[in-house]
Structure formats: C-alpha cells, structure tokens
Amino acid sequence: MGEVHKLLELYGKPKVLQMDLDRQIVDAAAGYMGSEDGEVGYLYSGWAQSSLPHKRIADDAVWQVRTDHVSLMVQPGFRPTATGDAIPVGVPYGSRARLIFLYLQSEALKSNSREVPLGKSLHAWLKRLDISVGGTSMAAVRDQAERISRCRMSFQIKQGSRTGLVNQNVLDASMFVEDDSAQGALFIETAKLSELFFDQLKRHPVPVEESAVKQIANNSLAIDVYCWLAYRLHSLSEPKLVTWKSLHLQFGRGSRRMDHFRAYFRKVLELSMAVYPGAQVATDERGVTLMPSRPPVSARSTLSTTRKLRA
C-alpha cells in the first residue's frame, strides 16, 4: 500500500488534506478506498501498451505510436455526405474515447457476445463513473462513438524475434439512430465488435477495476498509465527499468521537451498509483522501475468471466 493510502487509514481524509500533498491524488485515493463498487472491466492488452491521442488532431490525420513492443496506427474513417464527397471524421481521442472503448470491451467479454448495446446502457455506465451525459458532455461522447465506429487500426506486436501484424476495424457494424437531444444528429444505438478484435480481446484481456477508473475518468493519460501498470506489474518476476525515452515514445507524443514530459508523467504516475495501492514503482533519472506487484483485480474476481469464455 502506498504512503497516501497509509496516511488516509491512520488519519482520515480531512487531516491528510491539511498535509503537504497533492489534493488531486488525495481525492483519488480516498475515493477509491471508500468505494464499494466491485465491478471489473476489461481491455485488449494491445491498448495497455499503446495509446490514442490525448487531444484532437486534424480530422484527416493518421495517428501512430511506436514502442519497444507494439506499434499502433489509427486511420480516421469517413462519413458520406449528400453531395457524394466523403469527409473524414478524425481518430478517437481523449478520456471519453478511452471510456467508450473500455465499455465496449468489458460488456462484450462479460456477455461473451460481439454485439454491445450503447444508448441507455452506455449512459447508465457513464453515470456510474460520475460522467455527465447531458449537454456538451453528451455531444463529446456521441462524437467519440462515431470516430470509434468508423476508424481502422493496425497493431504490430513484437515477441522476441517474431512480429505479428493485425489490421482491423474495431467494429463490424453499428446501428445509428436520431438523437433527440441534438436535432439532426445521429447516435450509435448498438455496436458489433469485429470478429478479429473480439478474438484478440478474449485471448489477451487485461482486467481493471471500475472503481479505479472512476477516480481518474477525466484524465486520459492517467487512464493509460493505470492500464499499463495493470498489464505489466503482475507479470514481472524481477524489477524492470523502463527508460524515459521508452516512456516518451508510448505516452508523450504531445510533449516535445523531455523535461516537461518527465515532470508531468511523474505526477500522473502518482495519480494512477493512488487508485492502484498494490503497485510497486520507483522513479529516478534513468526512468521508471517496475517491480513485481499483485494485479489490481484478483484472480477470483475474473474466474467467472474466464469460465464463460472457455465454455
């Protein structure tokens, strides 16, 4: 358990807030520790080793991230128009895209079905994470859902001397309906994960705690780092140094200066660890040292899902 968690257990949140600690980290740790939500979410391991943009990029731009083990390329999809000239809708970005991706993968894996309802089901899930589903927030969710439905991505994964390439759409099919909250706008009512993507998800799922995601739901980098830690730490048999250069390649494409990236990443790493008390991580001038840690979700919590998939 991390230092902030020990302090919260000993003194309680009001007194810890009077100490010289980052309030955002204290709030996240206290919120996580006070949660009774035991729900588990899932994502494909490839997403835990790469990332989407944190901010909007040009609608016709291709997004690419290359790390030591994974290369991800996301191509924007196109929307037809009445004039016959298709327009690019852009690649998914930000925290809302990540939450929708997590919802799609979690629901598909739990139900062992490629078809996932959005609409009211997605609204209910977002509300559970304390995400507003009205006004501009709903418009952002609707926009990211369309970007996800139309984009195409390529994962190139290196294992030893072998390299595998997976080209796929995330979704095979989507059912668009008119959105009553925005005149003339469309919203995805149901989505069907592509067979290839669903197969990869079933083979390589990473379990995460929804109660943890809830506390960092508005910080896209914190979500990425938390999922990365959930994927990496429990599989280690000895400490592993990840250099700042490698971290910058995976997480820092929007930050040109390494010193700025280091400072911001250290803060976000602390925030991610605030909702993963079992994470054993240290930072120094070389980079981040990951140490063998228990997973955020116990094996017992994921047993029923694993049995369903095997069946």
Same domain, yes or no, for 107 and 231?
A: yes
Q: What's the rounded mean pLDDT across residues 44-57?
A: 90
Predicted confidence (pLDDT) per residue in 152-176, tens digit: 888 777 766 666 666 667 777 665 5
Is it the case that residue 52 has pLDDT exceeding 70? yes
Helix extents (H) in the chain: 3-11, 13-16, 23-33, 94-111, 119-128, 135-150, 195-203, 210-215, 220-232, 244-251, 258-274, 299-310
Same domain, yes or no, for 138 and 9?
A: no
- State what percent of residues in the chain have pLDDT above 70: 87
pLDDT at 167: 65
pLDDT at 160: 65
Angle at CA of residue 74, ends 72 and 75, nearest 5° = 150
Same domain, yes or no, for 163 and 22?
A: no
Predicted confidence (pLDDT) per residue in 289-299, tens digit: 999 999 999 75
Same domain, yes or no, for 6 and 109?
A: no
Predicted confidence (pLDDT) per residue in 98-136, tens digit: 999 999 999 999 999 999 887 778 878 888 888 877 777
Same domain, yes or no, for 8 and 87?
A: no
Same domain, yes or no, for 12 and 116?
A: no
Q: What's the rounded mean pLDDT across residues 139-147?
A: 86
What is the pLDDT of the chain when averaged over all its residues?
86
CB-based contact 295:228 (threshold 8 Å) = no
Q: What is the pTM of this model?
A: 0.89
Same domain, yes or no, for 173 and 305?
A: yes
Higher-pLDDT residue of 59, 185: 59
Same domain, yes or no, for 15 and 163?
A: no
Is it the case that residue 286 has pLDDT exceeding 90? yes
Domain containing 26 equals 1-34
Same domain, yes or no, for 28 and 42?
A: no
Same domain, yes or no, for 190 and 209?
A: yes
Terminal alpha carbon distance of the chain: 36
Number of domains in the chain: 2
Predicted confidence (pLDDT) per residue in 235-284, tens digit: 999 999 999 999 998 998 878 889 999 999 999 999 999 999 999 999 99
Question: Can you say whether the dihedral through the CA atoms of 178, 179, 184, 188 is positive or negative?
Answer: negative
